[in-house]
């Protein structure tokens, strides 16, 4: 800038006297004041200190203009400070990733399931370096293009606190705060859910445990989530680690604050200790004595219920696992999820949530919804609470009109009480134990009750939903399995449940018609109750091989190969395609089994759970499945279920030796097999 401070001081010291000097000094002072008023950071030093004193150029990929990479995202708000100590909304910030929006000659991929367009997601690409360079990836190499953050000195709790509005009603995050968890009756925290005010804030709760071994990728992942979802939204989200303390006699952490903090120091990396909340299973026993079950495989939601009870300053609570990954800006993706969940109405939300949305079959989401409504003739299978004896006072919608009289106004514009990342299934439709091992596990109810599930148990739940579950389990001890907890209580209480049509790729690909048949059971007008009834979920033990690995699933063999391709120089360890015995795809050609069953499903008008199945697990062979009634046509399939070919998946792109990944939420990324 043209302002010379030393020269001005010379004037003020009288080195050039007279009226001209005085006038010039006054003008410069006024100019300085106006400059500070309209550009308050103009006189601040440059926020970054680069190696050798030279700022590296921002990365530019192919036809991407630099001005696009440097554009400040409209959703960012000022004054939040990033881990390098400077404002995160600076257009040249090094604390956020810069994606690529166009790759020359390459179209953006259309997902097998879900939709970028319908969900309002940004269509961008990133290399692994673009994604994780800001968070420490390759920071010890001489070629590292950014200033190095001192991660051991970063306090993520304080950074999140500084992003919150400083109103008297706002709560603080974890920085310097004493633990809130306490045993039942030990200074009990009394809360009346009707008196809790909406704050507009959301918690992102990452589930981990005290013996978890954090890899470098885990650190990059958590740093990215905090920076993009918490700091870049000025506190719309706050990230926590909810840490299961694996110690037989670990109840002492809830009785002695000093021992609690000592346990955190041993269990959590230094930079994350102020966002960690530690709990021991004895806490669950104290509050849910009547449930008589606290093991995570059965009751994974109990710690989240207690978290919502003791941390009621949030309207919504995301539960995510440590092996979930956002391959693009997490904050933008979560905001798109929020907006979609609020936009859709309550009417027929249960029906829509049961379908695996396939744009190539169903068209736009509006066309998909209209087709369901036409099948339902304007009605709804769920209209208000699903009645059960154990929930006498539901907290959700109790409509005073028929569903046919509602023009999709009820619930539209209101946040969903449950956002699910997978379809909604009904427990009674599972054929047998092998299809869902928790099928018959239900206790504390006086009669048989309708139950619903969505797996894996990663979702966003409202405060009132979690409080309702907490009260039921605390007071009367009813319980269903982990994946069924949130959906069942939500529908029993008449709350809005929404399945997010987030992009989900399947690789290798398969016929879209077949996929629609096995996931949904056929066309939208086939089932008069509007509820999908596919074989894939309800007869999984028989029909599973018709699927292929997906980027989002309870378990998937695709995610690690995707990351192996994505990380420079790291390749999958599967055999090369040239070594395959029978065909060019890298697969052994094996006759598909259960074709007869698939045709039986496709030709029958019966509900799936009424179709007779004569198949047997005795026909399963060591390398996959046997054949129920082989068809003359042969199709190639993996020799072992879930094998992924070594080629780059079709939804990724390689340009000039760099591999680009589209924006996805994927699971599970197994960097850590620690039990």
Helix, strand or coil for residue 365?
A: helix
State the DSSP H helix or E strand holding residue 102, giving kind and residue range, or none if neither: none
More confident residue, 621 or 225: 225
Structure tokens at 624: 């996959």
Q: Which of 222-231, 401-410, 617-626, 666-675 has the least mean pLDDT?
A: 617-626
Residue 202: burial class (beta carbons within 10 Å; 0-12, 13-18, 19+):
buried
Separation between Cα atoms, residue 66 and residue 466, nearest integer Å? 46
Distance of CA 586 to the CA centre of its chain: 32
Separation between Cα atoms, residue 657 and residue 639, nearest integer Å? 30
What pairing do the DSSP bridges indicate for beta strands 635-636 and 589-590?
Answer: antiparallel
Q: How confident is the model at residue 55 (pLDDT cuts 50, 70, 90)?
A: very low
What separation in angstroms does the CA of 388 have from each of 379, 391, 674?
21, 6, 40
Separation between Cα atoms, residue 511 and residue 635, nearest integer Å? 12
pLDDT of residue 548: 77
What pairing do the DSSP bridges indicate for beta strands 202-209 and 316-321?
Answer: parallel
Residue 540 has pLDDT above 70, yes or no: yes
Separation between Cα atoms, residue 355 and residue 422, nearest integer Å? 9
Residue 238 has pLDDT above 90, yes or no: yes
Q: How many residues does the chain have?
A: 675
Q: First and final CA of the chain: distance in angstroms?
A: 58
Q: What is the arrangement of strands in the sheet containing 125-126, beginning at the earlier edge strand?
A: 125-126, 658-662, 653-655
Percent of the chain past pLDDT 70, that is, above it, reads 73
pLDDT digits (tens, 9 = 90+) for 627-671: 222 233 333 344 345 789 999 999 999 998 899 999 999 999 987
pLDDT of residue 39: 45
**What mean pLDDT is reported for the chain?**
81
pLDDT of residue 30: 57
Q: Is the peptide bond before 472 cis (omega within 30 degrees of 0)?
A: no
State the DSSP H helix or E strand holding residue 205, giving kind and residue range, or none if neither: strand 202-209
pLDDT digits (tens, 9 = 90+) for 64-105: 332 222 233 444 444 799 999 999 999 999 999 999 999 999
Contact at 8 Å (CB) between 369 and 352? yes
pLDDT digits (tens, 9 = 90+) for 141-166: 999 999 999 999 999 999 999 888 53
């Amino acid at each position: 800038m043209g302002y010379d401070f030393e020269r001005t001081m010379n004037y003020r010291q009288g080195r050039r006297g007279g009226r001209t000097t005085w006038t010039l000094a006054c003008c410069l002072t006024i100019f300085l004041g106006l400059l500070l008023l309209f550009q308050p950071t103009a006189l601040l030093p440059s926020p970054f200190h680069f190696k050798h004193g030279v700022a590296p150029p921002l990365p530019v990929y192919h036809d991407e203009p630099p001005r696009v990479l440097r554009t400040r995202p409209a959703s960012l708000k000022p004054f939040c400070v990033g881990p390098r100590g400077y404002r995160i909304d600076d257009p040249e910030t090094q604390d956020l990733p810069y994606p690529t929006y166009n790759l020359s000659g390459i179209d953006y991929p259309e997902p097998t399931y879900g939709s970028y367009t319908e969900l309002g997601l940004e269509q961008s690409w990133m290399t692994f370096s673009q994604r994780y360079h800001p968070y420490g990836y390759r920071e010890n190499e001489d070629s590292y293009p950014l200033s190095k953050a001192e991660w051991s000195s970063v306090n993520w709790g304080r950074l999140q606190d500084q992003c919150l509005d400083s109103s008297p009603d706002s709560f603080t995050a974890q920085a310097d705060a004493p633990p809130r968890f306490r045993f039942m009756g030990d200074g009990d925290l009394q809360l009346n859910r009707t008196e809790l005010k909406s704050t507009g804030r959301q918690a992102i709760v990452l589930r981990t445990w005290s013996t978890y071994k954090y890899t470098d990728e885990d650190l990059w992942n958590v740093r990215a989530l905090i920076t993009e979802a918490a700091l870049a939204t000025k506190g719309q989200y706050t990230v926590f680690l909810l840490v299961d303390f694996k110690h037989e006699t670990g109840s002492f952490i809830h009785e002695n604050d000093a021992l609690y903090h000592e346990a955190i120091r041993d269990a959590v990396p230094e930079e994350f200790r102020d966002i960690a909340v530690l709990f021991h299973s004895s806490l669950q026993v104290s509050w849910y004595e009547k449930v008589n079950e606290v093991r995570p495989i059965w009751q994974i939601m109990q710690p989240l219920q207690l978290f919502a009870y003791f941390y009621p300053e949030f309207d919504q609570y995301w539960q995510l696992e440590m092996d979930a990954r956002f391959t693009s800006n997490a904050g933008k993706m979560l905001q798109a999820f929020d907006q979609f969940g609020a936009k859709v109405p309550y009417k027929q939300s249960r029906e829509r949530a049961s379908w695996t949305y396939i744009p190539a079959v169903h068209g736009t989401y509006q066309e998909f919804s209209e087709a369901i409504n036409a099948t339902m003739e304007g009605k709804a299978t769920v209209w208000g609470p699903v009645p059960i004896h154990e929930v006498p006072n539901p907290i959700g919608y109790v409509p005073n009109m028929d569903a046919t009289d509602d023009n999709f106004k009820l619930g539209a514009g209101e946040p969903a009480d449950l956002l699910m990342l997978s379809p909604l299934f009904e427990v009674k439709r599972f054929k047998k134990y092998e299809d869902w091992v928790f099928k018959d596990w239900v206790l504390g109810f006086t009669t048989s009750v309708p139950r619903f599930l969505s797996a894996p148990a990663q979702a966003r739940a409202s405060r009132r939903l979690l409080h309702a579950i907490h009260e039921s389990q605390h007071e009367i001890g009813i319980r269903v399995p982990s994946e069924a907890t949130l959906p069942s209580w939500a529908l029993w209480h008449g709350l809005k449940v929404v399945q997010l049509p987030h992009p989900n790729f399947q690789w290798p690909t398969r016929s879209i018609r077949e996929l629609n048949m096995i996931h949904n059971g056929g066309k939208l007008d086939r089932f008069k109750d509007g509820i999908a009834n596919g074989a894939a979920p309800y007869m999984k033990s028989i029909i599973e091989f018709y699927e292929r690995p997906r980027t989002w699933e309870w378990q998937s063999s695709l995610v690690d190969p995707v990351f192996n391709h994505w990380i420079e120089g790291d390749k999958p360890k599967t055999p090369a395609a040239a070594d395959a015995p029978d065909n060019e795809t890298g697969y052994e050609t094996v006759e598909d089994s259960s074709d007869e069953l698939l045709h039986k499903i496709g030709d029958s008008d019966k509900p799936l759970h009424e179709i007779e199945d004569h198949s047997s697990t005795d026909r399963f062979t060591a390398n996959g499945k046997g054949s129920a009634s082989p068809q003359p046509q042969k199709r190639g399939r993996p020799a072992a279920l879930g094998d992924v070919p070594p080629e780059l998946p079709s939804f990724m792109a390689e340009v000039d030796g760099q591999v680009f990944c589209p924006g996805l939420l994927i699971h599970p990324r197994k960097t850590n097999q620690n039990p």
